[in-house]
Structure 1
């Protein structure tokens, strides 16, 4: 009886919690529409602190910070929205505008064919989506094989056989894409510079030589970390060390 009561209480609390978050999100939207961007940020941030994250929540936060001309936070939240949902066109569009407010002009290194294919095709969908496609393809392949096995008409057997082979091909490709995307997301730790200007060192110490400077809003790739320092790489291939508190990991 206690277990049943506990389950009901847990279910009720989760429903109330969800309703509260929806109400906060709706109130935040109303504040944003009325130009009260700082107040909207407070409500959206309270939802984020509860652990209820979504691409739309991060997108709205990015919009609020953009309206307040805060470069780093706006880029940071647009990037977080795209990390959850790479197909979020509005976030991608607004991110391009937000990047125009940055000072650093960094040219990307030329990409190989495989790198371009990965960024334009594989990473266009989250790894969870590729995994779902793989599962659906496996079910479809199983059904088509059964239809092939129990079918007597030669034309139908040929059709079911060919389509089952195609489903297996889709299964293998989508499985590979899912693992590749997952591995890329986990390895590619990115961050945004959150200070107006920072000196990048050639070693993790304040007395080491300055190799270049970065400004607010620039995106970096985290390669390593040591104590309160992080080793970073920027789009043009330059590498250096930055104080950990000067960046915020996406």
Structure 2
């Protein structure tokens, strides 16, 4: 009975994947015909099936961009990059979409370590760093076994040196993987969807306005109270806004 259930689940997944592929092709054809709203409807159907991919969100974002909807286009480019940080098309189009936003916010200066982290470590998902760690552990183990079995002193030195280097790199990759995992778990970023929103100094409607943001701006969510979110900008500004005016970027 259990085997039958597993078989049914497997068949269902295969059929679902085939259906998603067919829908994806249909939506792409509509997009090429400049039928952006029709293509978007089909892309959203695929999203509902949970057959998610960076390419799906990239195409959804392109549709919104063509329809001059700034916030949804930026949000979906960010979703595409959440699934694949190395999606160059999404990176390039996101840069173009940002030019449509009204807010120009200068980031705070970064330390050398932050620059290295942004330009190298964060380019890869923590799962990728985990795979690198596993690969290095296998390589190091094989080289250590070869060192133990070899009778040639020159080869033994090479095997030992490279195996030690592999284990040192393994430790470094494990540390990076752990750090990246914690970053992904704790990071909450969102896109402003309100055309214009006044940011408050406290989570109440009667509190003072401290600055104004516009649709498409990316913020970090650092706290929440009831239906209010405490946000932080890349320039260090902090304030409160109602939750229904922004949309959280999911971490996968």
| Counterpart position of 1:212 | 211
Distance 1:12 1:83 in 2: 29
| 3-state SS of 2:199 partner | strand
**Is 2:199 the counterpart of 1:162?**
no
Aligned-residue CA RMSD in angstroms?
0.9
| TM-score (normalizing by structure 1) | 0.97
Structure 1 gaps, min length 5: none
Deviates more, 1:75-84 or 1:212-221: 75-84
The C-alpha deviation readout for 1:56-100, integer Å capped at 9, x for no partner, is 111111111111111001100111111111111111000000000
Distance 1:59 1:137 in 2: 33
| 3-state SS of 1:211 partner | strand
Distance 2:248 2:106 in 1: 21
| 3-state SS of 2:231 partner | strand
Alignment of 1:166-205 (within 5 A): 166-205=165-204
| 3-state SS of 2:221 partner | strand
Alignment of 1:1-250 (within 5 A): 2-250=1-249
2:197 touches 2:212 (CA, 8 Å); kept in 1? Answer: yes
The C-alpha deviation readout for 1:156-184, integer Å capped at 9, x for no partner, is 10110011011112211111111111111
Q: CA deviation at 1:4?
A: 2.9
Moved over 3 A (4+): none
Distance 2:191 2:7 in 1: 43
Deviates more, 1:134-143 or 1:182-191: 182-191
2:16 touches 2:49 (CA, 8 Å); kept in 1? Answer: no
Distance 1:236 1:3 in 2: 56
Distance 1:5 1:248 in 2: 41
Aligned residues: 249
| TM-score (normalizing by structure 2) | 0.97
| 3-state SS of 2:21 partner | helix
Distance 1:182 1:99 in 2: 27
